[in-house]
Amino acid sequence: MNPYLLGIFAPIVMSILFRNAKNGKKRGLPVEVDGEPGYAIRNYRFLKPVESAWEGITTLAELFEQSCKLYPSKHLLGTRELIAREVEVSEDGRSFEKFHLGNYEWLSYGEAFEAVCGFSSGLVQLGHGKEERVAIFADTRAEWLIALQGCFRRNITVVTIYSSLGEEALAYSLNETEVSTVICGRKELKKLIDINGQLDSVKRVIYIDDDGISSEVSLAERNTNWKVTSFAEVEKVGRENPSDSDMPVSADIAVIMYTSGSTGLPKGVMMNHRNVLAVVSAVMTIVPGLGSKDVYLAYLPLAHILELAAENVVVAVGGSIGYGSPLTLTDTSNKIKRGTKGDASQLGPTVMTAVPAILDRVRDGVRKKVDAKGGLAKRLFDFAFGRRLSAMNGSWFGAWGLEKILWNFLVFRKVRAILGGRVRFLLSGGAPLSGDTQRFINICLGAPIGQGYGLTETCAGGTFSEYDDMSVGRVGAPLPCSFIKLIDWAEGGYLTTDSPMPRGEILVGGPNVTVGYFKNEEKTKEVYKVDERGMRWFYTGDIGRFHSDGCLEIIDRKKDIVKLQHGEYVSLGKVEAALSECPYVDNIMMHADPFHSYCVAIVVASQHALEDWAEKNGITFTDFSELCKKKETLKEVLGSLMKVGKKVRLEKFEIPAKIKLLPNAWTPESGLVTAALKLKREAIRKEFSEDLSKLYTS
Ligand SMILES: *[C@@H]1O[C@H](CO)[C@@H](O)[C@H](O)[C@H]1NC(C)=O
Ligand SMILES: *[C@@H]1O[C@H](CO)[C@@H](O)[C@H](O)[C@H]1NC(C)=O
Ligand SMILES: *[C@@H]1O[C@H](CO)[C@@H](O)[C@H](O)[C@H]1NC(C)=O
Ligand SMILES: CC(=O)N[C@H]1CO[C@H](CO)[C@@H](O)[C@@H]1O
C-alpha cells in the first residue's frame, strides 16, 4: 500500500478502534467486600491499594539509596550557573532585577549520595539531637532534596513550610513542632531574623549559600543566639567525620507538612514513609514509559506534596531533575534577561508538573502573541487549532495523521518550544484545570495532561485522570494507592442512591491516608475515621459523583453550602461558577447565612465591560471606582446577574439580592485568593465584613 495513504488512513482506523475502546473503558471498579459490591471504588488495574512498587523498599531513604547504587554516574540534580545579576530599567523608569543564567551543572547520583551522607553526618557534628526536628524553609532547589534525604537517613522528621507563609503562621508552626534546626535561603533567613524573639526552640540555622547572603548572616550572628552555619560547611564537616546512618522504618514520620487552613492558623499534616512511598509508587504506574531517560523540570514549591512526590518519583526511576523557578521558567519570564534562555528551553524537560494558574498563563501568553501578530499568522493558527480540536472532539474529519504532523510542524512547533520542545507528559494538580486550558495545552504542546485530585491530608492520593481520557471536567478514577467512597450528605441533598449517578461526600482511604494532624487530636478525629470494616478514611468535605466508567467528578464543596433562614440550601461555589458568566463580573464571592432569607455578593467588576456600557449609555464618571458606586451601575449589574441566573436555572433565592461592586481585581498578593486563584472566603469576609453587614441592613 502507498505509504502516504497508509499515513492518512491508519490513524483514522486506529482512532475509530481506539475511541470505541476508550469509551467503554472502565477505569474505576467497585471494591467487593464479603461479596458485597459498591463498598468503595478502586483503580481498575489493582485489586488492593499499592504500597510499594519496589520489593523490599519501605522508606524514601531506602528508595533513594537504591537509585544511587543503580545509576551512580547518571545526572541527578542540575542547577543553572549564575552568570550575572543585572538591573534593567523599563521605559516608565521602574527597575527590575534580571538574571543571566547559564548551563545546567549536574551532580550525578553517586555525587548526590555522597552529599546526602555528608550532610547527614554534618547534622550530628552540629549537635542536632536524635529526636529533634528539622525545618526546611527555602525555595525549591537541589539543596532542598539533599537536606531532605540527609534527614531521612538519620530518621529525622522534616517540617516543611511554604516560603510564602506569613510571620504569624511561620512562628506558630516552628514553635508547635519544637524545631531546633532550620535550613533556609536568603529571603527566608531575613524573615526568621524578624521574628527571632518568638522562636523559642530554634538553636541552629543552616543557610544555603546565596549571592549576597553575608549581610543577613552577620545580622543573625549579632542579633540572635543561633548557631549559624552554611550548608556547604555542614556537608564538609560531615564528609570529614562520617557517622553511620540511622535509618527509619515505614511507620516513622517522614514529614510534617504545614498547609494554610482556610480559617486561622496552619495545620501540620503528619506523613509517614509508608504514606509517601505509596503515592510515589502510584504516580510511577500512571506516567507512561517513565524511565531513566526522562528529564524533569522542578520549580513548584517542594513544601507542597505534589512536588515532593514528583521529585521522588523521578529519583526512583533514575531520571534527572533540573531546578528552575516560576519567574525564570521561559525565555520571556519576568526575571530572565532579554535575549537569554529560560529554564525550560535550556533544560529541554520531558516531564513537568504544573498548577492550573501557570498553564492558564501559558495559554493566555500564546493567545496574546498570536493576536498581536494578526493577519495570516493568526488565521493559520486559528485554522490549525480548529482542525485539531475537532479531531480531539472525535470527528473523523478533523486533523489526524499526516495533517496533524503538518500542523504540528508548521504551527505548534513554536508553541512547544516555549517549554523546551520535548515535553511529553504534564502532571497538573492543586486545583481543577479548566477544560479550555486542558484542550489548549493538549493541542499546542501535543502532550497529554494527567490531572490529579488529592489533598495534603491524603498525601496527594486521591484520583487521577489518565492521559488517554480526553473528557474534560472530571478528575478521573482512584489512584492505584487509594480507595474512594461516597457517603450521603442528606442536608445538602446529595445521596449515593441518586440517579443517574451516585452523589455524596468524597472519602479517601488506603495506605496513602496520612497519620493525622500534629498535636491536634480533636481535629484529626473529626476528619479521619475508621469505618465498620476497619478501613481508615479521610473526609474531604468535597462533594462528588461517580460516572459509569468509575471516574469521579467534583461538583461541590460541603463547607460552601449554607442554609438560609427559611431552610433552603445555597451552594455558594455552584452559584459563583454560574454567575461568573455575567460579562460585568471579573470575580464574585457569594455570601449567605441562616439569619437572612436572601443572598448577597461581593463582585469585582470587569472594567472594560462596565466602561463600554457606561459609554454607550452616556454615563459620565471621573474614575472607575466612582462608576462602581453609582446607583444605575449597580442596577445594571444586578439585572445582568438576574438574567444569567435565570438562564442557567438558578432558584430565585440563589441569586444575590444586593451586591457590592469593587473596582480592583483580587490577586494572590492581596491575600484574598490563593496562588491557584481560588477564593479565600474567610479572608474576603473579614476584609469586607462592614460592606456585608451594610448589604443586609440598608
Ligand atoms: C525514629 O524516630 C522516632 C521519633 O524520634 C522514634 O520513635 C522511632 O523509634 C525511630 N525509628 C527507629 C527505627 O529507630
Ligand atoms: C511557643 O510555645 C510555647 C509553649 O510551648 C508558648 O509558651 C509560646 O507562647 C509559644 N510562642 C509562640 C510565638 O507561639
Ligand atoms: C468540541 O466539543 C465541544 C463540546 O464537547 C464543543 O463546545 C465545541 O464546539 C467542539 N469544537 C469543535 C471544533 O467541534
Ligand atoms: C494509617 C492508615 O491509614 N492505614 C491504613 C492503610 O490502608 C490499609 C488498607 O490497605 C488499612 O488497613 C490501614 O488501616
The domain segmentation of the chain, as residue ranges, is 23-49+354-418+424-557, 60-70+108-310, 564-697
Q: Which of 77-91, 358-372, 621-635 has the lowest mean pLDDT?
A: 358-372
Q: Is the pLDDT of residue 680 over 70?
A: yes
675 ligand 2 Cβ < 6 A: no
| pLDDT of 175 | 94
Per-residue pLDDT band for 263 (boundaries 50, 70, 90) equals low
198 ligand 2 Cβ < 6 A: yes
Q: Which of 80-94, 198-212, 239-253, 477-491 has the lowest mean pLDDT?
A: 80-94
Q: Which of 383, 393, 400, 474 to mutate to test the pocket of ligand 3 (most atoms within 8 A of CB)?
A: 393
The ligand placed nearest to the CA atom of residue 531 is 4
Ligand 2, residue 200: give the atom nearest the CA: 1
CA distance 133 to 617: 65
- Extract the C-alpha cell encoding 294: 526522562
| pLDDT of 17 | 47
Give residue 514 CA to ligand 2 midpoint distance, Å: 26
Ligand 2, residue 175: give the atom nearest the CA: 1
Architecture of domain 60-70+108-310: 3-Layer(aba) Sandwich (3.40)
Cβ atoms 641, 652 nearer than 8 A = no
386 ligand 3 Cβ < 6 A: yes
Ligand 3, residue 393: give the atom nearest the CA: 1
252 ligand 1 Cβ < 6 A: yes
Q: What helix, strand, coil percent values describe the chain, rounded to 5?
A: 40, 25, 35
5 ligand 1 Cβ < 6 A: no
Dihedral angle, C-alpha 402, 403, 409, 411, nearest 10 °? -170
Q: Which of 225-234, 293-302, 381-390, 595-604 has the lowest mean pLDDT?
A: 381-390
Q: Mean pLDDT score of the chain, rounded to an integer?
A: 88
Strand residues in 447-599 grouped as ranges (E): 449-454, 462-465, 477-478, 483-487, 503-509, 516-517, 528-530, 536-546, 552-557, 561-563, 569-571, 585-591
Ligand 2, residue 201: give the atom nearest the CA: 1
CA distance 344 to 423: 9
**Residue with the nearest Cα to atom 3 of ligand 4?**
513
Burial class of 289 by CB neighbour count within 10 A (0 to 12, 13 to 18, 19+): exposed
Q: Is the pLDDT of residue 5 over 60?
A: no
Angle at 385 (CA atoms; ends 379, 388), nearest 5 degrees: 140
Give residue 689 CA to ligand 3 midpoint distance, Å: 42
Q: Is the pLDDT of residue 459 over 80?
A: yes
129 ligand 3 Cβ < 6 A: no
**Residue with the nearest Cα to atom 12 of ligand 3?**
390
The ligand placed nearest to the CA atom of residue 393 is 3
CA distance 407 to 493: 48
Listing DSSP states for 109-150 in one string gives HHHHHHHHHHHHHHHHHHT--TT-EEEEES-SSHHHHHHHHH
200 ligand 1 Cβ < 6 A: no
Nearby residues of 65 by Cβ (< 8 Å), 6 or more positions away = 113
| pLDDT of 233 | 96
- Which of 124-128, 374-378, 440-444, 521-525 is modeled with the greatest confidence? 124-128
Ligand 3, residue 389: give the atom nearest the CA: 13
**Residue with the nearest Cα to atom 9 of ligand 2?**
198
Q: Convert 140-177 into a string of H (helix), E (strand) and C (coil).
A: CCHHHHHHHHHHHCCCCCEEECCCCCCHHHHHHHHHHC
Nearby residues of 584 by Cβ (< 8 Å), 6 or more positions away = 603, 605, 606, 609, 610, 613, 636, 637, 640
SS3 at position 420: coil
Give residue 484 CA to ligand 3 midpoint distance, Å: 31
The ligand placed nearest to the CA atom of residue 151 is 1
DSSP 8-state class, residue 213? T
Per-residue pLDDT band for 21 (boundaries 50, 70, 90) equals very low
**More confident: 357 or 218:** 218
The residue behind cell 467588576 is: 605
Angle at 482 (CA atoms; ends 480, 488), nearest 5 degrees: 140
Average pLDDT score over residue span 242-263? 88
- Extract the C-alpha cell encoding 301: 514549591
Which element (helix H / strand E) includes 84?
strand 75-89
**More confident: 311 or 365:** 311
175 ligand 2 Cβ < 6 A: yes
The ligand placed nearest to the CA atom of residue 157 is 1
CA distance 443 to 475: 20
CA distance 189 to 440: 40
169 ligand 2 Cβ < 6 A: no
Give residue 59 CA to ligand 1 midpoint distance, Å: 13
Task: Please give the span between the terminal C-alpha atoms of the chain, in angstroms, as a whole number.
Answer: 79
Q: Which of 276, 530, 533, 535 to mutate to test the pocket of ligand 4 (most atoms within 8 A of CB)?
A: 535
326 ligand 1 Cβ < 6 A: no
| pLDDT of 81 | 95
SS3 at position 34: coil
- Extract the C-alpha cell encoding 256: 510534617
The ligand placed nearest to the CA atom of residue 156 is 1
| pLDDT of 240 | 97
- For a pLDDT cut of 90, what percent of the chain falls above it? 50
The ligand placed nearest to the CA atom of residue 538 is 4
- Kindly report each contact of residues 581-586 with a partner whose C-beta sits within 8 Å and lies 24 or more positions away, as own/partner: 581/644, 581/648, 582/637, 582/640, 582/641, 582/643, 582/644, 583/609, 583/640, 584/609, 584/610, 584/613, 584/636, 584/637, 584/640, 585/637, 585/641, 586/665
Q: Which of 60, 123, 134, 155 to mutate to test the pocket of ligand 1 (most atoms within 8 A of CB)?
A: 155
66 ligand 2 Cβ < 6 A: no
**More confident: 90 or 117:** 117
Ligand 2, residue 198: give the atom nearest the CA: 13
- Superfamily of the domain at 23-49+354-418+424-557: Luciferase; Domain 3 (2.30.38.10)
Q: Convert 449-471 into a string of H (helix), E (strand) and C (coil).
A: EEEEEECHHHCCCEEEECCCCCC
The CATH code of domain 564-697 reads 3.30.300.30
Distances in Å between the Cα of 372 and the Cα atoms of 368, 369, 387 are 6, 5, 22
248 ligand 1 Cβ < 6 A: yes
The ligand placed nearest to the CA atom of residue 399 is 3
pTM of the model as a whole: 0.82
- Extract the C-alpha cell encoding 46: 489493582
The residue behind cell 523490599 is: 56
| pLDDT of 261 | 58
| Type of residue at 179 | V
CA distance 549 to 27: 6
Q: Is the pLDDT of residue 65 over 90?
A: yes
Angle at 501 (CA atoms; ends 497, 507), nearest 5 degrees: 75
510 ligand 4 Cβ < 6 A: yes
Give residue 44 CA to ligand 4 midpoint distance, Å: 19
Strand residues in 408-458 grouped as ranges (E): 425-428, 449-454
59 ligand 1 Cβ < 6 A: no
Listing DSSP states for 264-314 in one string gives SS-EEEEEEHHHHHHHHHHHHHHSTT--TT-EEEE-S-TTSHHHHHHHHHH
Distances in Å between the Cα of 237 and the Cα atoms of 97, 122, 127, 367 are 35, 5, 12, 53
Q: Which of 252, 274, 515 to mutate to test the pocket of ligand 1 (most atoms within 8 A of CB)?
A: 252
Listing DSSP states for 358-389 in one string gives HHHHHHHHHHHHHHHH-HHHHHHHHHHHHHHH
The ligand placed nearest to the CA atom of residue 252 is 1
